[in-house]
Structure 1
Amino acid sequence: MFKHSQLESVKAWLAHPDHAAMPLHARIQRAIRQLILDGALGPGRPLPASRALALSLEVSRDTIETAYAQLHAEGFIDRRIGSGSFVAEMTEFRPGRGLPTRARFTRNLAPNLSKRGAAVFGSGGVREQLAPLPFAPGLPETRSFPLPLWERLQRQVLKETGAQALLHGDPQGAAPLRRAIADYVNLERGARATADRVIVLTSSQQALTLCANMLLDPGEGIFIEDPAYYGARKAFDAAGLESLPVPVDRHGLMVDRLLSNPHKARAVFLTPSHQFPTGATLTLDRRLALIEWAARHQAWIIEDDYDSEFHYEGRPTACVQGLDPYERTLYIGTFTKSLFPGLRIGYAVLPPQLVQPMTVARTLLDGHTASLAQLTLARFIEGGHFGAHVRAMRGVYADRLAVLTRLLREHVSPFVEPRPPIGGLQMACMLTCDLSERAAIDAARHVGVELLGLSGLYASGRGLPGFLMGFAAYTPAELEAAVRRLASAFHGLMRK
């Protein structure tokens, strides 16, 4: 028979909620197998008779017999007619043999990662909320997306392509989508794109990872805006690059700071149309100066145009890539924010000499983006539906920005100063009281409100306290309810 502790261990397996989806016999089999692997049941040790164990566990004998049969099939036990079941003679290579339980536990908690692996793991990655709360930034309105239209276009694709849409796709991206993207960015963003220079990816984050690993060697420097998009900085850090912060003012990146030490880095990362998170637009003279710097020093400009579709005052400035005659600029875009996050399609417009290297590198990451989604998106763009959706959402988001600004000034003005942007899906708000940024974020979370702190986006550590507040994904009623909860939380903090 089992010792009392062994029997309790099996019962714990049966009751554990993580194992609830397993059939009963599988839970018993796994529990006994783990006792054997841990050395609690040594080679040659007899197992309880199936009838006795069934009584102890209050299960049927057939359940025990099924568990024993699986253990026997896997080689963990021997079954001898007339004698019973015994733990098989394990080899000296049994996992964990000779190691105390604590040592095995510690080994599992401390993986032996490479330096790059440790940097990736240490960064914490880029995490998105599955069920976002107000005011999580960077999220579009998805509830009003024209799903029936999308489904109709997808059915058309399947009808015309059949099983072809289910096979591997071109790692550079489906040709119809690359043509549609090139036409769109040329018309709307003033780019210099052709279909053969577009690579379709799963996200702008994937594009940043490719740039970090393909354009620069570990230890080399890259100029980044300060403050900067956290996902870009993490991608560069994980690749072993030295991120060199350049301050941002109301005209965007302070290019003169970069030009005062032009040889320090071989690339610069920018969000020039709508700087993340300040919302500043890089002026034309600074754009031209960066283009000349990149050409003169054979450096790269990585331009992230993450939400330029949503511009609320006048027309957006032409992208840097369209102004660059030297082809030193990589232009990154995404449909995650203009359509919906679950689409998982982004893209990059590349200098001609980088198309093949980037495509080969992409095959080592995930091969290709799903063909069916690409072909459906191509029809969505070609049919004018993308432009119509963006125009409709631009009006909705402008209204929601105005609502949030008014609500903050009415209810939270003693604590924060809203700074309405000229575009985008989120607004920067500065703390104007003695509350600490961390305390304010924690208090907001307790009342179901999500805030992204601004100070942590500054690599220099000299950022002013405040928050980035998303507004695009939330209705006016949701915004008002969240602002009232936020005001209550802040008033409660001040009374303490």
Structure 2
Amino acid sequence: MFKHAQLESVKAWLGDPAHGALPLHARVQRALRQLILEGALGGGQPLPASRALARSLGVSRDTVEAAYGQLHAEGFIERRVGSGSFVSPRAQRLGAQARRPAAPAGAPRLSQRGEALYRGGGVRDFLVPRPFAPGVPDTRAFPLATWERLQRQVLKEHGARALLHSPPQGMEPLRRAIADYVNLERGARATPERVLVLTSSQQALALCATVLLDAGERICVEDPLYQGARRAFEAAGLACVPVPVDGGGMQVQHLDGAASPARAVYLTPSHQYPTGATLALERRLAVVDWAQRHQAWIIEDDYDSEFHYAGKPTACVQGLDAHERTLYIGTFSKSLFPGLRIGYLVLPPQLVAPMAVARTLLDGHSAPIAQLTLARFIEGGHFGAHVRAMRGLYAARRDVLARLVREHLAAWVQPRVPAGGMQMPCVFTCDLPERAAVDAARRAGIDLQGLSALYAAEPAEAGFLMGFAAYAPQEMETAVKALAGVLRRL
């Protein structure tokens, strides 16, 4: 029978607020199981009769019977007709194994790909954005009421069908809306059949890396480069060949300088990340010609082209490519909100089927309700209206940040005011340790991204990126003044 200490242990388990969400019979069952695993109840030891234990615990007999039944089903106790319930000897052995001191855990043996993924460090998302996290949109200005109304319409029209799987390529209304949008606004050559709906641009990069190239093959990349792209390519075993960037974007004349041509090139032509440069038209045409001559692929990442602040944006590379060698990546995480988790690829026709099949091995599909709601949001003109409003808001915030940097940080950095995008590069004008500055700012509640870590080749410019899209002028002023104090103390 139970000792007093064992009974009190069960009562304490039942009364613990941390277990309050469990049904009463489950609490009794888990308390008894814990005693068995700890060795407090040994193998072959009889348990109290259900009526007696119920009386001692102040619960119903049915509650104890349900707990005993579950323990029996899991193999922790044996029930013998006419004799009662007993701790299973097998459960005793399991408890002894659980109590045995674990051997010191060494480093796990990972695959080469797993090691590459782990060493790369992944991609850091700013879950709770603080000034000046780059690439974060202002979600406070998003028209939630409109989105909610459109989502109700989707559920009313589609009912339970909206709860099923989406086709791997994406819902047709959204693919049609995306094709119409990129054709009109970006000068693309898209049809709904060529659009693949994904969860993010990062997923698109991983697909491109694994479907288009084999491990060991070369891909030309901008230098400096968005870290998420570099890590996706390196995790796939690709050799990244850095190509320098100047005020006109990637210096594409270097693509022909390699002894063996690369199999692909990765570009952010609208707003080069992180410099903000726009790829000149003659260079866009040159990279299209290079891809055709070498039968290589162009991976065009158009991550925030909606936000340009001077004139019309240059036509996307995909729209200039008559040879069907360009894969165009877009995302709604920057233009709408990160939690939407919808990005897309516009593909050459011959790549649609391979990419859609490969996508089924990653996550299968994107959520239908969000896709159908977004389709209505675009078709109803709400997306265009929101982008126009944010374009004006972000342009004003860019100008505010440039002024604040010049007023309060001129002793340390020089801002390079971008013609578009959501972040501003600031280059050190003095001998300041970049890593120390970024770390000290983080401890002060300010998120910056160091510039030099984005370079593969020397010389690398030191400084940091400052995002401005998500932060009101007063928030930026407070943070810039705090950052000045941080830099002053270094």
Shorter-chain TM-score tier: 0.7 to 0.9
1:373-393 CA-partner distances (Å, limit 9, x unpaired): 222212221222211111111
* Residue 71 of structure 1: how far off its partner (Å): 2.7
RMSD: 3.5
Compute the displacement of 1:160 (Å).
2.8
Are the structure 2 counterparts of residues 451 and 20 from structure 1 closer, same or farther at C-alpha, using a change threshold of 3 Å?
farther
Contact preservation (8 Å) 2:37, 2:96: yes
Q: Distance in 2 between matches of 1:13 and 1:60?
A: 14
Q: Name the structure 1 match of 2:252.
A: 255
Deviation sequence 1:437-457 (CA, Å, 0-9, x none): 222122212221111111222
Q: CA deviation at 1:208?
A: 0.8
The CA deviation at 1:111 is 4.2
Distance 2:403 2:428 in 1: 17
Asked if residue 345 in structure 1 is aligned to residue 348 in structure 2, the reply is no
295-304 or 16-25, which moves further after superposition?
16-25
Name the TM-score, length of structure 1 as normaliser.
0.87
Contact 1:207–1:347 under 8 Å retained in 2: yes
Q: Which moved more, 1:5-14 or 1:59-68?
A: 5-14
Shift of 1:116: 1.9
The superposition leaves residues 291-331 of structure 1 with CA deviations (integer Å, 9 ceiling, x where unpaired) of 11211111111000000010012211111111111110000
Structure 1 gap segments, 5+ residues each? none
**Other-structure match for 2:407:** 410
In structure 2, what is the equivalent of residue 131 of structure 1? 128
Please say if residues 220 and 241 of structure 1, whose CA atoms lie closer than 8 Å, have aligned partners that are also in contact: yes
The CA distance in 1 between the partners of 2:330 and 2:413, in whole Å, is 32
Report Cα offsets for 1:6-63 as digits up to 9, x if no partner. 99999998999986755687567556646756888764466799999999xx976778
Counterpart in 2 of 1:206? 203
Report the alpha carbon displacement of residue 2 of structure 1 after superposing the two structures with TM. 9.8
Match of 1:183 among 180, 184, 190: 180
Question: Partners of 2:274 and 2:9 in 1: how far apart?
Answer: 52
Which residue identity is paired with 2:356?
Answer: T
Mean alpha-carbon deviation: is it higher for 33-42 or for 482-491? 33-42
Q: Helix, strand or coil: the match of 1:101?
A: coil
> 1:280 and 2:277 equivalent?
yes
1:122 aligns with 2:119: yes
Aligned residue pairs, count:
488
- Per mean C-alpha deviation after superposition, the further-off stretch among 363-372 and 327-336 is 363-372
Worse overlay, 367-376 or 209-218: 367-376
Structure 1 counterpart of 2:446: 449
Aligned 8 A contact 1:310 1:424 in 2: yes
Counterparts of 1:103-118 in structure 2 under 5 Å?
A: 103=103, 106=105, 110-118=107-115
Deviation at 1:398, TM superposition (A): 0.3
Report what 1:102 is aligned to: 102
Are 1:87 and 2:87 counterparts? Answer: yes
Q: 1:197 to 1:458 in 2, by over 3 A?
A: same
Q: Residues 126 and 47 of structure 1: is their aligned pair in 2 closer, same or farther, counting only changes over 3 Å?
A: farther
Question: CA shift at 1:115, angstroms?
Answer: 2.3
Q: Structure 2 matches for 1:422-461, cutoff 5 A? A: 422-460=419-457
CA shift for structure 1 position 128:
1.8
Range 30-39 or range 327-336, more displaced: 30-39
Q: Distance in 2 between matches of 1:283 and 1:415?
A: 31
**d(CA) in 2 for partners of 1:426, 1:8:** 60
Per the alignment, in what secondary structure is the counterpart of residue 274 of structure 2?
coil
**Distance verdict in 2 for CA 1:60–1:370, change over 3 Å:** same
Q: Which amino acid aligns with 2:202?
A: Q
Q: Structure 2: which 5+ runs fail to align?
A: none
Note closer, same or farther for the CA distance 1:320–1:262 as it changes in structure 2 (3 Å cut).
Answer: farther
Match of 1:289 in 2: 286
Q: Is the 8 A contact 1:426 1:472 kept in 2?
A: yes
Residues 212-258 of structure 1: per-residue CA shift (max 9 Å, x gap): 11001112121111111111111112212222222212221122222
Alignment partner for residue 369 of structure 2, among 369, 372, 393?
372
CA contact (8 A) 1:39 1:97 kept: no
2:308 is aligned to 311
> What is the aligned-residue identity percentage?
69
Match of 2:353 in 1: 356
Cα distance in 2, alignment partners of residues 262 and 321 from structure 1: 27
Instruction: Choose from 394, 400, 420 the match for 2:417.
Output: 420
Cα deviations across residues 115-149 of structure 1 (Å, max 9, x unaligned)? Answer: 22332233332232322111111111111111122
Matched, 1:385 2:382: yes
1:455–1:461 CA contact under 8 A, matched in 2 = no
SS of residue in 2 equivalent to 1:381:
helix
Instruction: Tell me the TM-score normalised to structure 2 length.
Output: 0.88
